[in-house]
Structure 1
Amino acid sequence: MKNHITPFSVLVLEDNINLFVFVVHCLSQIKGINIYVLSNKKDAETRYSRKIKKYIFYNKPPSELEWISNIDFEVDKHHIDLVMPVNEYEIETLLKYQDQFKNRDKLVILPTLDDFYKANDKGLLAEHLKKNQISTPKSFLIKAGEKNINDENLRFPILVKPTTGFYGGDGIIKFNDVNGVKLYLNNNNLSYDILLEEYVEGYDLCCNILCKKGEILAFTIQKGLLWTEKPFSPQIALEFIYDEKLYDTVKKLMKSLNWSGVANIDIRFDYKTKQFMILEINPRFWLSTEASEMAGVNFPYLLCLSSLNADFELPNYKHKKILNLKGLSYKTKMNKFFVFKFKFICNNTPIKYYLKDPFPLIYIMSNKIKSMMKN
């Protein structure tokens, strides 16, 4: 890797779905990075990490501009080199108020606000994919409050998806006939837009990327191996693979968006057409960010390097299987002797981060014990 720039400092902006924990774990693997966390949570596992230079707590401010002002204050106070938003809300807010953000030149590379909206909204993305002739399932947008659908255009089964604002498969429902959809719309006065998307018989993949002005700087491709019982939930075990046709599809997509920054792209392989269908884009870090680091691609660190204008070659990644903590728990429940696979657990699960930095895990376990005692 060229131009290995350290030391430098990063202010990670904490989010409500704990993605920042995975980002901190990845950054902590690189010596010379001083990690600061700005959070509206008074108590969180990362607060107890010895890898953190400083955990900065603010009560949730009454306005977005006050939040921006808090960031500026901390950047100046601690001489921060880079500001790294992790979740959609933080990214959108910083993009919306860039002119009011005094230290906007210290932001990691991000997409434009228009491109962010296009990627984050499933309805806008579906329109963009059709316009640019990028493979995607047939879909129809239903505006908030609408009750009528043109069932002649639908081929069942279909998925009903909120266009924005939901995580981890929440809000997605599968329907096998038009009567079910009509009943759902009539019984729910939805305050948000939904997408009716034809269900594709196939299997799920993800492509994780880092781009600058539409050019891919780093990527990993993963195929799901294990899920929880909750429908459409994120994978808890995965395998890193490579497929040139999928990669070419993603390259075309990122070029069409002129994308800058990181993103996680959900993809479905269609058994019938033998095509890779783009389903949605998460324009942020993702739940398996740590898994990519274990496979050899440290996206948070590479985002820092690219933001500091350092050059590096497209990194290779290992084609290995990874379990997250839920996957490890599931495997252990299924086979109690799995806990004796020490080498696999150390190399293929997030346990390695907690072995090096045990206090956050102690905090998690103590909270679980307290919760069990209350019940």
Structure 2
Amino acid sequence: MINFIVLGRNKHVLVPVLQSIRSFTDAKAIAIGSEDTKSLKWSSLCEQHLVVNFDGSDDDAFVALINSIVEKIQYVTLIPADCDAIRMTNRVRERLSLKITPIPMTATLDMFDDKWRFYQFCKQNQVAVPATRLFESKEQLDYNALAGEFGVPFVIKPVNQAGARGVQIIRSKAQFDRVISRNHAYQYAPLVAQTYIDGSDIDISFLADRGQIGAFAIQQANDSSVEFVHNPELEQMASKLCKLSAYHGVMHIDARIDKHSGKIYLLESNPRFWASLSASAACGLNFVAESIQALPRTRGIRRLTAGKSYISHPVLHPSTWPALLSDGGDNGRLLRAMTFDPHALGSFATALPSLALRQFSRRASDKLRVTKKLNSFLRSSLEQKRLTKN
């Protein structure tokens, strides 16, 4: 029986949503996506994969499809996973006869999905953000003026792209010319220029009910793992944004901690599910399950501020193997969904050469660093002996 319909055109968001569903239930799911998500037809995480256009041209067909499913099955929940899915759902939601997980209204979504408008909203409400300025095209960018205004390095990024597409940390005039001004492939517009915050990344993910946070997780990530941490300042900043915007649904906010002052700056928001979603599920807070439950909650805010989870394929991490093979709970189910699903295996096989290259480069770099330290130590010792003899 089909109980969930997951909608979205971003494969990097759809997959962790499907994995999160599998971790807590055996209920079946259908994925409705785009040409970019067609590889999910090989996945065991969904019973079927269908393709629609998200530009409005398939809205009527989408409504007819959803309502035909609901006629046959009584309890079905629609999960709009990304921004295009939320916009599509909002356009037709009055014509749909099924439960929909919490999502923001389109006007609110558009504000948080635009890096310039997000900056303006934060600035107007005294929430710390780096100094930022809007440019309609790259032709308006002048390196010397930007360096004078923001210092070096500074950041250039599109206002409307996700997954770090188009983001450049500019450290020199030569780099600016090479990657932006003389790069014919760099055609993003509009753009923002922003002060670079020298420090460490920290993110907060949350589920809100009409301005009130019901669950949140604060995380710091590296190439292979996510660690959940406690940070009351970031929690307070996210809570303030929720209340001021009456936000409804899930969101992931990128922030940085200034290494000199310790101050937190919000960089951008993603008013949708996110790519590292499975990490919080592995540590006990499943945002998909939380979204499906009826709101509001009476048990208080659910907080995830401790724990660690790997985000790369579980086969690379022997410490996960016992749970992978024998854990009958949510974590074991999630690990098996991430490991044995045909789509996951195919993606892992495709990425394996680059993973091996990164591992080799990392080890070579570590070896070079050790060699340099040893050589420096030997030179110092020889110099000390020479001075002693003299």
Taking structure 1 as the reference length, the TM-score comes to: 0.78
Letter in 2 for 1:117: D
- Whether 2:35 is the aligned partner of 1:35: answer no
What amino acid is aligned across from residue 360 of structure 1 in structure 2? Answer: D
Paired with 1:369 and 1:274, the residues of 2 have a C-alpha distance of 41
8 Å CA contact retained: 1:267, 1:279 = yes
Q: Verify: 1:65 aligned to 2:59, yes or no.
A: yes
Tell me if the contact between 1:147 and 1:185 (Cα under 8 Å) persists in the aligned partners.
no
Partner in structure 2 of residue 24 of structure 1: 18
Alignment of 1:174 with 2:169, yes or no, is: yes
After superposition, the Cα gap between the structure-2 partners of 1:214 and 1:29, relative to the gap in structure 1 and judged at 3 Å, is same
Question: Does the Cα contact within 8 Å between 1:109 and 1:260 map onto a contact in 2?
Answer: yes
2:360 aligned residue: none
Paired with 1:125 and 1:369, the residues of 2 have a C-alpha distance of 38
- The one of 331, 345, 369 equivalent to 1:365 is 345
In the alignment, does 2:233 pair up with 1:245?
Answer: yes
AA matched with 1:175: I
Aligned to 1:271: 259
1:173, distance to aligned residue in structure 2 (A): 0.8
Aligned residue number for residue 137 of structure 1: 130
Q: Alpha-carbon deviations, 1:63-99, whole Å to 9, x = none?
A: 142453333443444345321111121112222x136
Output one character per residue of 1:26-50: Cα deviation in whole Å (capped at 9) or x when no partner.
Answer: 222334745333344685457542x
Structure 2 partner of 1:208: 205
Q: CA 1:77–1:47 in structure 2 vs 1: closer, same or farther (change >3 Å)?
A: farther
In the alignment, which of 281, 296, 302 is matched to residue 290 of structure 2? 302
Percent identity over paired residues: 19
Match of 1:12 among 6, 9, 16: 6
TM-aligned CA deviation for residue 321 of structure 1: 1.6
| 1:320 partner amino acid | G
Does residue 260 of the first structure (1) align with residue 248 of the second (2)? yes
Secondary structure of residue in 2 paired with 1:29: helix
Q: CA–CA distance in 1 between the matches of 2:43 and 2:188?
A: 39
The match for 1:165 is 161
Report the aligned-residue RMSD. Answer: 3.4
**1:58 deviation in Å?**
3.9
Which residue is 2:82 aligned to? 87
Structure 2 matches for 1:103-142, cutoff 5 A? Answer: 103=96, 106-142=99-135
Cα deviation, residue 340, structure 1: 6.4
Match of 1:280 among 248, 264, 268: 268
DSSP 3-state at the match of 2:111: helix
TM-score by length of 2: 0.75
Q: Which has the higher helix share?
A: 2
Q: For 2:119, what is the secondary structure of its paired residue? A: helix
Aligned pair partner of 1:293 in 281, 290, 295:
281
Q: Deviations over 1:211-249 (max 9, x none)?
A: 01111000011112x22xxxxxxxx31211111122111
| Partner Cα separation in structure 2 for residue 358 and residue 270 of structure 1 | 37
The 8 Å contact of residues 14 and 39 in structure 1, kept in 2 or not, is answered as: yes
Superposition deviation, residue 113 in structure 1? 1.2
2 CA distance for matches of 1:244 and 1:29? 29
Q: How does 1:350-361 map to 2 (within 5 A)?
A: 352-355=333-336, 360-361=341-342
- Does the 8 Å CA contact 2:282/2:334 hold for their aligned counterparts? no
For residues 234 and 13 of structure 2, the distance between their equivalents in structure 1, rounded to whole angstroms, comes to 26
Equivalent residues, number: 341
Structure 2 gap segments, 5+ residues each: 353-390
Counterpart position of 1:231: none
Q: SS state of the match for residue 325, structure 1?
A: coil
**What is residue 310 of structure 2 aligned with on the other side?**
323
Matched, 1:192 2:186: no
